[in-house]
Amino acid sequence: MSKPIVEAREIHKHFGHLHVLKGVDLEVAERELVFVIGPSGSGKSTLLRCLNRLEEPSSGSVVVDGIDMLDPRTDINHARQRIGMVFQSFNLYPHMTALGNVTLALRKVAGKSRAEADALGLAALQRVGLADRAGHTPGQLSGGQQQRVAIARAIALEPRVMLFDEPTSALDPELVGSVLEVMRDLRQSGMTMIVVSHEMGFARNAADRVMFMDDGLIVEQGPPAAIFENPTQERTRAFIGQIQRH
Amino acid sequence: MSTWDRFVETFFNAKVMVKYLPDILSGMVVTIELAVLIVLSGLLAGLVLALLRALAIRPLNWLIIFVVDLFRSLPPLVIIVLIYFGLPAAGVSPSGFVSTWLSLAFVLMAFSEEIFWAGITSIPKGQWEASRSTGLSFGQTLINVVLPQALRLTIPPLTNRTIAITKGTALGTVVAVTEILGQASSAVSNSYNPSPLMMGAAAYLVLFLPVVVAARWVETKFAWKR
Amino acid sequence: MIETFFNPEIIAAIWPIVLAGLLNTVLLSLIVVPLGLLGGLILALLATVHHPLVRWPLMAWVDFFRAFPPLVLLVLLFAGLPFAGLELGGFACVAIAFFLNTGAYYGEILRAGIESVPAGQVEAGRSTGLSRLQAMTYIVLPQAVRNVLPDLMSNTLEVVKLTSLGSVVAVPELLFQARQAQSLTYNATPIVLAAIIYFLLLWPMVRLLSRLENRALASRR
Ligand SMILES: Nc1ncnc2c1ncn2[C@@H]1O[C@H](COP(=O)(O)OP(=O)(O)OP(=O)(O)O)[C@@H](O)[C@H]1O
Ligand SMILES: [Mg+2]
């Protein structure tokens, strides 16, 4: 394994009395696609959000692309440009066009001129197959299209790592494919990706590694085939049996 | 003379009206000046307070909430009287115009802060998170992502409230501001005829009715659709 | 400073005057709020008639009073009507002006409330044999009022504050009495005292409202 691009050590997270992450270690190599699965409430989203510090870990360390994310001297806004994030509920800005959504951070954070930002934004929309929708507002787009715009918003900043938090679970089944298609393209282009999702088919043929989380800990991890066919832990087996029945 | 003629002679007396028209017109100018000052300074101050409140600095927020509550609780006329008759005792003597302007601007500030703040807090957390995840700072997110959505949401309640408060310029009469009602009242006592009052009433309608009708239109236009 | 703004001796001397004003403000509110609500209810019920001959005049009526400053209305009644041989006195003028002015505001609020109740509610009621009026009284209005309760309360707060206009036409309410006391003592203390009383009287309502309004706006999305 090459040198890790994401390195999280001993992450703990408390919400008041609730101990949500109980010492998670996570290493992700460059170009690797890691899948995170686990029951609801196990801390998957919290883990992702600790990586770009949308959530402040209670203790532990997070280093992404050589930057210590938890160091108070780190320019967090600059660092976050290198870490793209895609949300379950898209979170597109409803008052802006697709292109406006994609170019906002290019202009305000990366300091591009409007013309430069528009060119880069259009290229990003092109990559997700939506260049022709650049002038549409989120309300005029389907859920699948909205999520692809959200992906374009993240990749336009040329991040080193992409975090996906259940990117397809708010979509109608017939729209899921188009989003997975874009994610597969991204993987092919060599993007490092951490994906929380229960799309088992996608995990099986795209993931390098699958991690099973339960109760704030990584219980088991390995290649998809191993985790899905021969889990060593009883909890993993039970969970996989449960989601495969659906 | 028929009753009707006598009625017209009394309430719409042409001679009196012609004589006092210039007074009423100059009153309209004062009313417009007051209204514009109140709307601009009141809304701006309200917005600034709402943005300061977003910084979530505890003692500052308590202060903001108290000031807002204070100016929502006190009748505007009481504030005007307090500033005009009270402040001189402290060595400052604001004119009636300034007293009315300040009072109503404070009231509009309080109401608009409340509305702006409600708008800001009603924007879902996901909008903040999406923006912050792409590297925008707190301030950039507030200005570029949250505020545009919040403002749209606040336009209908804000227009209604702004009209209701701006109409209060008539209260300036009590502290000798020569706005429409002041001019009309003194014309009535000089001419012993109520026609100037009718002109004054018409002047208010000329100024405010278009705004009210526009507000109706704005209300339907900006009803929030996603 | 305290001497001029909150002089204990002056408070001791004038508190009965100010207290009498407070009593009148409360009484005045107890009269004009129901009066305004009545005016509003009439307008809102008229608005359920969707005929253009009712709709347009009604809208014009409401917009007229939304544009017309209540003080101007009051002065018009108080200083204008005597020229027509009709001398009503300050109190009656306040009552009429409030019936007209605040009635228009209450009317808009109640109309919005009635429109927020789904048509199926009336149909369900009528299908069980209720008359139109009964359906309105027992089914629509209770829901309508509940849906716009924050707006009704907010307007009521404004009405109570507006009673201070009575001072302009010599109705002896709180502000009028305070100004009388002020002219007797040449001191700002009575007005400050009145302001404090208004604040203590209305603050709890403002607090409650700001909570309700925050929730209402948030749920509009
Ligand atoms: N801001 C917060 N405040 C308090 N508790 C929180 C907060 N965010 C998450 N939690 C709690 O932390 C636990 C883990 O939440 P998290 O969202 O990480 O789970 P998850 O594995 O992503 O679940 P799901 O599959 O439902 O998305 C849950 O019990 C949740 O209620
Ligand atoms: Mg989650």
SS3 letters across A103-131: HHHHHHCCCCCHHHHHHHHHHHHHHCCCH
Mean pLDDT of A64-69: 94
Domain boundary assignment for chain C: 2-218
d(CA A145, CA A140): 10
DSSP symbols for chain B: --HHHHHHHHHT-HHHHHHHHHHHHHHHHHHHHHHHHHHHHHHHHHHHHHHHHHT--HHHHHHHHHHHHHHHHS-HHHHHHIIIIIGGGGT----HHHHHHHHHHHHHHHHHHHHHHHHHHTS-HHHHHHHHHTT--HHHHIIIIIHHHHHHHHHHHHHHHHHHHHGGGGGGGGGT--SHHHHHHHHHHHHT-SHHHHHHHHHHHHHHHHHHHHHHHHHHHTS---
Pocket test for ligand 1, best of A14, A40, A53, A54 (most atoms within 8 A of CB): A40
Fold of the domain spanning B29-180: MetI-like fold (1.10.3720)
Over pLDDT 70: what percentage of chain A? 98
> What's the pLDDT score for residue A12?
96
Cβ neighbours of C65 in B, within 8 Å: none
d(CA B11, CA B23): 17
CB contact under 8 A, C192 and B74: no
Mean pLDDT of B65-70: 96
CB-nearest partner of B136 from A87, A108, A139: A108
Which residue in B has a C-alpha nearest to residue C157's C-alpha?
Answer: B73
Query: pLDDT of C111-146, one tens digit each?
Result: 999 999 988 888 888 887 788 888 888 889 999 999
Nearest protein Cα to ligand 1, atom 28: A41
> What's the pLDDT score for residue C221?
44
Mean pLDDT of A83-102: 94
- Report which of residues C220 and C101 the model is more confident about: C101
> What's the pLDDT score for residue C145?
93
> What's the pLDDT score for residue A88?
94
| Distance from residue A45's CA to the centre of ligand 1 (Å) | 7
pLDDT of A1 above 80:
no
pLDDT of B224 above 60:
no
Mean pLDDT of C54-59: 90
Query: pLDDT of B158-204, one tens digit each?
Result: 998 999 999 999 999 999 899 999 999 999 999 999 999 999 999 99
Q: What is the pLDDT confidence band of residue B225, given thresholds at 50, 70 and 90?
A: very low
Q: At what angle do helices B147-166 and C189-218 cross, to 10 degrees?
A: 140
CB-nearest partner of A89 from B126, B152, B225: B126
Query: pLDDT of B94-135, one tens digit each?
Result: 999 999 999 999 999 999 999 999 899 989 999 999 999 999
- Mutate which: B8, B72, B174, vs C, most C CBs within 10 A: B72
> What's the pLDDT score for residue C85?
86
Q: What is the pLDDT confidence band of residue C13, given thresholds at 50, 70 and 90?
A: confident
Query: pLDDT of C26-40, one tens digit each?
Result: 999 999 999 999 999
Query: pLDDT of C146-167, one tens digit each?
Result: 999 999 999 999 999 999 999 9
| Distance from residue B135's CA to the centre of ligand 2 (Å) | 21
> What's the pLDDT score for residue C131?
82
Architecture of domain C2-218: Orthogonal Bundle (1.10)
Ligand 1 in reach of A56 Cβ (< 6 A): no
pLDDT of A100 above 80:
yes
Cβ neighbours of B68 in C, within 8 Å: 210
Ligand 1 in reach of A152 Cβ (< 6 A): no
pLDDT of C220 above 60:
no
Query: pLDDT of A187-235, one tens digit each?
Result: 999 999 999 999 989 999 899 999 999 999 999 999 999 999 999 999 9
HEC per residue, A133-147:
HCCCCHHHCCHHHHH
Domains of chain A: 4-82+159-244 (3.40.50.300), 92-158 (no CATH)
Query: pLDDT of B128-154, one tens digit each?
Result: 999 999 999 999 999 999 999 999 889
Contact B178, B26 (CB under 8 A): yes
B contact residues 14-43, partner A, Cβ 8 Å cutoff: none
pLDDT of C1 above 70:
no
> What's the pLDDT score for residue B226?
34
Q: What is the pLDDT confidence band of residue B157, given thresholds at 50, 70 and 90?
A: confident
Domain boundary assignment for chain B: 29-180
